[in-house]
Amino acid sequence: MSRIPTLLQIVWMGLLISLFPHAGQAGVIEARLPTGKVATADFHAGNDGLPAVLILHGFLQTRTFPTIASTYEALSTAGYTVVAPTLSLGISRRNKSLSCEAAHLHSLEDDTEEVAFWVRWLEQKRHQSIVLVGHSFGNVQLLSYLRRSPSPAVTQAILISLVDVEAKQGPQARDRLAQALRDRIIHGNNALLGAEFGNCRKYVSPPAALLSYLNVSRNSILDALARSPVPVEVIMGGKDDRMGADWVEKLVARGIKVRVIPGASHFFDDQYEFDLQEAVLRALSRRPPGR
Amino acid sequence: MPLSLIRARMPPKPIASYAMALFFVLVAALGILAAFVFHDIDRLREQIAQYDEKLARQELDEAIALLARQAESTARALTQWDEARQQLENPAYYAYWRNARALNAGVLPERLDAVDLYGLDGHNLSVTTSGEASMPSHIDTRRKQSYLMHERGHDHLYFFFPFYADSAQSHRIGYAGIKLDFQAAFNQLRKFRYLDLSSVRVAAKDGERIPLPEIVSSLRFRTTANPEMHALEKLIARSFYEIAFIIGAISLIGYLALQSVVTKPLRRLSGHIESMRRGQGALLGESYRGMLAVAELENIRQSLNDYQQQLDDMHVSLAHKNQELWSLAHRDPLTGIFNRRAFEDDWSAVRRTQGDSLIGMAFLLFDCDHFKAINDTYGHQVGDQVIQGLAESLYGALRTGERLYRLGGDEFATVLFSASLERARQVAERCIEQVLRHDFPAYGVKEPVRVSVGIAYLEEAGDDALKLLHRQADMAMYHAKRPGQCKIAIFSPDMGEGQSALVSNAGISAVYEAMAAPDRLEMHYQPVLALPGSYIEYYEALVRIRGEHGLIMPASIFPVVELRGLEAEFDLAVLERVKSDLEAGRIPAGAGVSLNVSGPGIVNARVIDKLMQYVPLLSAYKLVLEVTETALITQIAQASSNLNRLRKEGFVIALDDFGSGYSSLRYLSSMPVDLVKFDISMVRSLEETGRQAVLVEDLARMIKDAGYSLVAEGIETEALLQRVTALGFSHAQGFHIGRPAALMTVASVSRVAG
């Protein structure tokens, strides 16, 4: 799978998007990815002068996840142009969260490519300032995108509940798994395997696909944050139990701006969604000037 | 068969039988009704079964349709399932999805046996398509395929449908197929109301595919038991049985009520009527059922009681009438004593009830002497009074309880039971005395009224002896009536010798034959000696009848003649016979003949005419007519006239048997009599010494002195002949002089005498 969209694909994508009558206003949009898969996203055209915001859901989730959906609504209401894609995870028109036991053929690179695709899509919409907003593992994918050569239009990254990939599995376990996967790959064994990964007790995936995610570590995240070309602000829930106890401190220690909303969980549910919305809007209001 | 014939052939039955028949007819009607009801129930059950089958088939249709809808729903879930769509886009790990995810992810129903995805070309994404959960390796993408297949003992439903990438179904990316167990799918459906799910079977060969629209028709099934129908059947049956029970109970109660209220009273009435028919009926008491009495039956009972009362009254009245009638039939209206019919009834009863046990029975037969003369002389009214007097006298002489019968005319009888012969005699003497004491002169009868009594006695009775008793008494009575006899005669067998002809058929026939043919009469002539000379002056013609067993003597002839009132006829026959003897010259010329003429004969014109035919003979013969004083009493005027006429012609008139009867000097003096024949009893008294001899002597002299000639009968000795000769008798007659003899002997005697 090529990670670089060809010119033809871009042209075709533009044609496809132009077919949607509401593409310039609000609604669900579909877009054929360079992989041939058809991806979908919620899109709201905001006011001019305000940056476009790309909101990315967590791992195996969709844009309909409440944290995403509420943030999307809040930003739309605030006049921002918002696009909230659902990563295809290798499935056209995926519209539901993918089960851990499903055959996960997608890789982190595929996810990063789709983020890049939607950034380009916004650029195609002539948005000069794009703010990336991610939730949970989506932040890993956004950081993966930012580690590449992100679009110059990307001006800010707001990472909600930035995941600590080593919170569930320690680095040793992850390393053993990664090594096993590499062994399989070396032996040409691409058969699916089920392994404990993230919040999945049995994550079924070919070795290579899973291995792509295992390449992300706590340090790589911190490093990505440190090297981010755009300002990054992290919004964390005060009662996010999916993080390591020292995760926020480590972020702060790396000079990352972290805003912790006391009492909020990983998903900022209940009344904390408004705190989240307020925090996001506040972060957006501190938007730095374009790069 | 005509109803009338049936009715005619059917004997009457008790009402209980009809009630029972009605009960059975009702039961039969109930049975027929039950048959109809259950037949209708069967029809209803059949209709409901057909309806249920129709509904069950509809349920099957709906179930199949529901399964199809569920399959479509499953198809929708499948096509909307990202993982399924993923397999069509990248089937690299299809086996994992099919085997580990498709049926376990919770997206598709768990009841599915298998799910498979097919590419646009219709090929199964699976590499291997065998085993229980296998699906067809290829499907025909040109048409929608859903079918039922019977395979390896199981029935599986297969649904196939296109797989679209988008909800608008504008982009087909392949096909999906699901497989599910038909029976299990049915089982998970809602409960069937009419279909017996366990009975559903697929009529298909192994491996045969049955298209979805044709599945229902290939199914074999049963309907479930219809609870409503079952309940309805139970309800109808129970209702019917309840109604039948109620009707049966009512019928039984009705039958019992009919038995109690109608049948038993009717039977009682019937029995009562039957008792009435047998003469044992009595009035029925109060109504049989008290408060439940039936008005009609009560009316019948009351009517029956009234009728019975009337019958009882009528019966009492009839009993009285019968008593009166019996009295009329068995009582002599003149005397009030029992009549001949009563006698015959009693006599029959005696013969019937006494039989051989009878001991000491006396039959007394009374007959009034010369009653006919009395009756003729004084008239019937006096005669009746005499009869009444006789009955009164005789009845007074009998003991209480001894019955006196008037057998007819002046004949009476009584029967004494357990009596000795001496007592019978005493009763007879007492009767005679009672008669003598009765005041007959008060009726104007101047002559003494006497009765003769014949007694027949039976020491030990037998039926044959009883039969003879009356006849024996009759014989004895006639014997008693004979002149010179005691007025009481007890039957002895020797009486039967002379009088047997009296009652024998042979004697009676001889009398009648002699009258019809006088030649059969055989006249014997007894000489009558003229006194004091010694020549036979004339002969008394004494009649005999030549019978089969010898001569029938007068003692046997005249009772028959008198009893049957044949005196005149017999006189004519005798006169004819004697006349022929005279005319034939069989009697010596110069001699005379004495002719006996009966009382009725002397007043009979034909007899007189016959005698007048003798007149020419008077020139050659002396003709004497002997009549009895009894004859003179009867129609004395006519008798006197006739005798005078004959006397004028030259006949000599003799009064016969003087002294045996009334011996009335009045008659003697008033009648034209030339000779007086002293009865043998008087003549024989001359042989004795005593008052009677003196009286006879004086009487003889007195009559002689009065100018009559005297004839003495019964002269059997020379001494007696001399005696009568001395007394002045002009003629003598008797065995001493000559016995009655036939003509030849007479002729010789005459010659000797002459």
What digits encode the pLDDT tens for the residues B266-277? 777 777 777 777
Q: Does A261 reside within a domain?
A: yes
Would you call A183 an interface residue with chain B, using a CB distance cutoff of 8 Å?
no
What is the predicted pLDDT for the residue at B497?
Answer: 52
Which residue is listed with tokens 């009605």?
B22
Distinct helix (H) and strand (E) counts, chain B: 25, 22
Whether residues A124 and A181 share a domain: the answer is no
Tens digits of residue pLDDT in B377-390: 788 888 899 999 99
Residue A103 lies in a domain: no
Q: Which 16-75 residues of chain B touch chain A by CB within 8 A?
A: none
- Tell me which of B427 and B226 has the higher pLDDT: B427
Confidence of residue B662 (pLDDT cuts 50, 70, 90): low
**pLDDT mean across residues, chain A:** 87
Query: A146 near A130, Cβ under 8 Å?
Result: no
User: Is it the case that residue A97 has pLDDT exceeding 80?
Assistant: yes
Percent of chain B whose pLDDT exceeds 70: 89
Does the beta carbon of A254 lie under 8 angstroms from any beta carbon of chain B? no
In a domain? residue A49: yes
Task: Measure CA of the first residue to CA of the last residue in chain B; give whole Å.
Answer: 108
Whole-angstrom CA distances from B745 to B531, B535, B578, B646, B752 are 22, 16, 16, 30, 10
Regarding pTM above 0.90, the answer is no
User: In this structure, are A119 and A202 located in the same domain?
Assistant: no
DSSP state of B474: H
Q: What is the pLDDT of residue A12?
A: 47
Q: Both A124 and A22 in a single domain?
A: yes
Asked whether residue A203 falls in the same domain as residue A232, the answer is no
Q: Report yes or no on A147 lying in a domain.
A: yes
CATH code, A280: 3.40.50.1820
- Interface contact flag, B83 A192, Cβ < 8 Å: no
Q: What one-letter code names the amino acid at B534? A: S
For B307-341, the pLDDT digits (tens) are 777 877 887 887 888 888 877 788 888 888 988 88
Q: Is A228 in the same domain as A175? A: no
Confidence (pLDDT) at A8: 47
Same domain for A209 and A118? no
Strand A52-56 to A154-160 pairing = unpaired
In chain A, what residues touch B85 (CB-CB under 8 Å)? 91-94
pLDDT above 50 for B637: yes
pLDDT over threshold 80, residue A206: yes
In the prediction, which pLDDT does A39 show?
A: 93
pLDDT at A135: 95
- State how far residue B85 is from chain A, nearest Cα, in angstroms: 7
Residues A240, A259 within the same domain? yes
Segment B176-185 shows an average pLDDT of 88
How far apart CA A139 and CA A118 sit, in angstroms, is 15
Shortest CB distance from B83 goes to which of A36, A92, A102?
A102
- Predicted confidence band of residue B420 (pLDDT cuts 50, 70, 90): confident
- Minimum-distance CB partner of B82 among A36, A98, A206: A98
Q: Is the pLDDT of residue B204 over 90?
A: no
Residue B643 has pLDDT above 70, yes or no: yes
Residues 6+ apart with CB under 8 A from B393: B431, B434, B435, B437, B438
Tell me which residue range forms the domain holding A125.
7-97+108-165+217-285
Rounded to the nearest angstrom, the minimum Cα separation between B69 and chain A is: 24
Mean pLDDT of B666-676: 79
Confidence band of A286 (pLDDT split at 50, 70, 90): confident
Q: What was the pLDDT predicted at B702?
A: 86
Express each pLDDT in B346-369 by its tens digit.
888 877 776 566 678 888 999 888
pLDDT tens digits for range A221-258: 999 998 999 999 999 999 988 888 888 998 998 889 99
* Domain contains A1: no
In this structure, the answer to whether residues A119 and A246 fall within a common structural domain is yes
Number of domains in chain A: 2
Chain A positions touching B100 (Cβ under 8 A) are: 101
| Phi, psi for residue A249 in degrees, rounded to 5 | -65, -40
| Same domain, residue pair A251 and A187 | no
pLDDT of residue A10: 46
Give the mean pLDDT of B592-603: 86
Same domain, A115 and A191: no
Residues A241 and A261 grouped into a single domain: yes
Angle at B427 between CA B390 and CA B434, to 5 degrees: 35
Mean pLDDT across chain B: 81
Determine, yes or no, domain membership for A57. yes
Domain membership flag for residue A233: yes
How high is the pLDDT of residue A14?
45
Helices (H), ranges, chain A: 7-19, 66-77, 108-124, 138-147, 171-186, 207-214, 218-226, 247-253, 272-285
Asked, for residue A291, whether it belongs to a domain, the answer is no
Average pLDDT over residues B727-733: 89
Domains of chain B: 17-224 (3.30.450.20), 331-491 (3.30.70.270), 501-753 (3.20.20.450)
- Please indicate, yes or no, whether residues A119 and A200 belong to a single structural domain of this protein: no
* Rg of chain A, C-alpha, whole Å: 18
Separation of alpha carbons B397 and B618, rounded Å: 53
Q: A138 versus B701: which is more confidently predicted?
A: A138
The C-alpha atoms of residue B116 and residue B158 are separated, in whole angstroms, by 11
A138 touches chain B (CB under 8 A): no
| Among B86-90, B129-133, B143-147, B558-562, the range of highest mean pLDDT | B86-90
Choose the final residue of a domain: A199, A215, A231: A215
For residues A98 and A94, give the distance between their C-alpha atoms in angstroms, rounded to a whole number: 8
